[in-house]
Amino acid sequence: MKKSLVLAMAMALGVTASAYAANPFSDVPAGHWAYDSINKLAAAGVIEGYGDSTFGGDKLMTRYEMAQIVAKAMAKGANVDKLAAEFADELDNLGVRVANLEKKADNVKIAGQIRASYQENNAGKASKSALRTRLFVNGAINDDWSYTGRIQNIQDLRDNDGEEDTKLNWAFVNGKIGGMAVTAGRQDFKVHTGSVVDATFDGVKVAYGKDVKLTGYAGKASNFTDVSGDRFYAADISAKVGVFDVYGTYYKIDAEYGNNAEVKDADGKGTGVYKVADNYPALDQDIFVLGVGTKLAKDLSLTAEWLHGDADDYDGDKDGYTVGLKYRGAKAAKAGSWGLYANYFDQPQVTFVKHTITGYTDLPVWGVADGKDEIKDYADGFKGFEVGANYTLAKNIVAGVKYYDLEAREGEAKDVRTLWSEVVFTF
C-alpha cells in the first residue's frame, strides 16, 4: 500500500528525478527506488513518517493515516479525486469538505420540462389553456438501484384566477432483483399505446426477459379517481417475431366507483347498460388486448390492436380496435426534425379506463323528463380519428398540433372535434 501511495502522490504532485541535500528518513537509502518521490513528498509536507526518522515503508497503514495523507495532498492542489472518493468518510471526520452530497453530486441529475398547451372544441365545453411544468430528479442509490421523482405543476390560464395544482406524481425506485427489473412506487401505468390506461398509479412493475419479455403490474390508481379502493392489475407478454413486434395484455380492474347510473330508455325502463361518467368503467372490469407493430418502410411504422372488454352488468359491444400510422418523429435534440401520425379508434366503453388521447372520449347523451335529469341514450364509448404533426423549432423546443374527430358509438351524441396545440421546452 505504501508503494502505490508514494507513486500516486508523487505523480499527482509532478515529481521529477532530483536530489535533496538531506535524507529525511533513515530507512530510505539514496539508492531506493522511491528515494526521489519520498523526498519530494516529505519536502511538500504531505508525508511525515513515524516521528523517529523512519518512513516505515514495510508497515501497513490504517485508513485514517491514509486519509491524512490524502487530505494534505489535496491541500497542496494535487489531483487525487479517486483517492478522495475512496476515503471520503475519513476525510469528513477530518473536516475536509467531501460531504455525502458532494460525493454523490455526479450521481444526481435534475431535468425539467415546460409545456404550454391550448385546446379548442365544438362540444360546448370551454377551451383550455394551460401551462405544465415538470421537474425530474434522478439519483443513483447503488450500482443496481436508482431513484426517480417528478414534481408537476399545472396552471389553468383560461382566466385571471390563477388556479394551479402541484403534486409529486412520480416517486419510485428502479433496480434489479435476480434477473428481474423492478420498479416500485408512484409511476406511470401505460402499456404499449395507452389505448386502455394512461395514468399514474402507486404500485409495482416487474419485468423479465429480453427477446420474449414478461411484465406484470399491480397497484392502486392515484390520479384519476378519488376512490381509494380502485385496484389495477396487468400482465403483458411481448416478443419479436420476424419483422413484427407482437404483444398480448390482460387488465384486471377492481373498482369501487359507486357512482354508476343505470341507463334508462325513453320509457324509463332499465336497459342493463350503465352510464359511466368521466370515462370510468363499470365495476370489476376485464380487458384483453392483442397488438402488432411493424415497419412498412424506413421511417413509416404501423400498429394495430384488437381489444375485448367485459364488466359487471354490461351487455353492450365488447370488441374494439385501433389502427395507427407514424412517419418519422420530432426529436428534441435535433432541430428541424419532424413527424406525422394518424390513428383510428373504435372502442366500446368497456375497452378502456383512461385513454391516452387528449380529445374527449366521454360522450353521454342527456335528456329531461318530468323536470328530472335522466339519461335518454348512451354513448357506449367512442370512434373516430386523430391526426397530428410535430416539429423541433430549435434544440429542446418541440411544437405539436393534433386534431380529433370523435363520435359516440351508440345513440345520438354530437360529434366532438378537438384541436390541440402545444410547445414543449426541455432543459
Tens digit of each residue's pLDDT (9 = 90 or more) over 121-165: 886 666 789 999 999 999 988 888 999 999 999 998 876 666 788
- Regarding whether 193 and 88 lie in a shared domain, the answer is no
Nearest-angstrom CA–CA distance, 245 and 225:
33
pLDDT at 30: 72
- Regarding whether 378 and 357 lie in a shared domain, the answer is yes
Q: Report the predicted TM-score, pTM, of the whole model to 2 decimal places.
A: 0.69
- Regarding whether 248 and 198 lie in a shared domain, the answer is yes
- Regarding whether 406 and 352 lie in a shared domain, the answer is yes
Amino acid in position 126? A
Q: Give the residue from 41, 73, 103 where a domain finishes.
A: 103
- Regarding whether 399 and 280 lie in a shared domain, the answer is yes
The C-alpha cell 392483442 sits at: 290
Helix (H) or strand (E) holding 211, with range, is: none
> What CATH code is carried by the domain that includes residue 171?
2.40.160.10
Nearest-angstrom CA–CA distance, 382 and 397:
33
Nearest-angstrom CA–CA distance, 307 and 154:
32
Q: What residues make up the domain containing 77?
A: 2-103
> 58: Cβ–Cβ under 8 A, 6 or more apart, which residues?
2
- Regarding whether 128 and 94 lie in a shared domain, the answer is no
Nearest-angstrom CA–CA distance, 386 and 199:
20
Q: What is the DSSP string of 174-201?
A: EEEETTEEEEEEEEEEE-TT-SSBEEEE
Nearest-angstrom CA–CA distance, 200 and 221:
6
- pLDDT tier, 291 (very low <50, low <70, confident <90, very high otherwise): very high
Beta bridge partners of 245: 240, 293
393 with 78: CB under 8 angstroms? no
Show the beta-strand stretches assigned E in 77-211: 108-121, 128-140, 146-156, 164-177, 180-190, 198-208
pLDDT digits (tens, 9 = 90+) for 319-329: 999 999 999 99
- Regarding whether 389 and 364 lie in a shared domain, the answer is yes
CA Rg value for the chain: 32
- Regarding whether 198 and 180 lie in a shared domain, the answer is yes
- pLDDT tier, 9 (very low <50, low <70, confident <90, very high otherwise): low
How many domains does one find in the chain?
Answer: 2
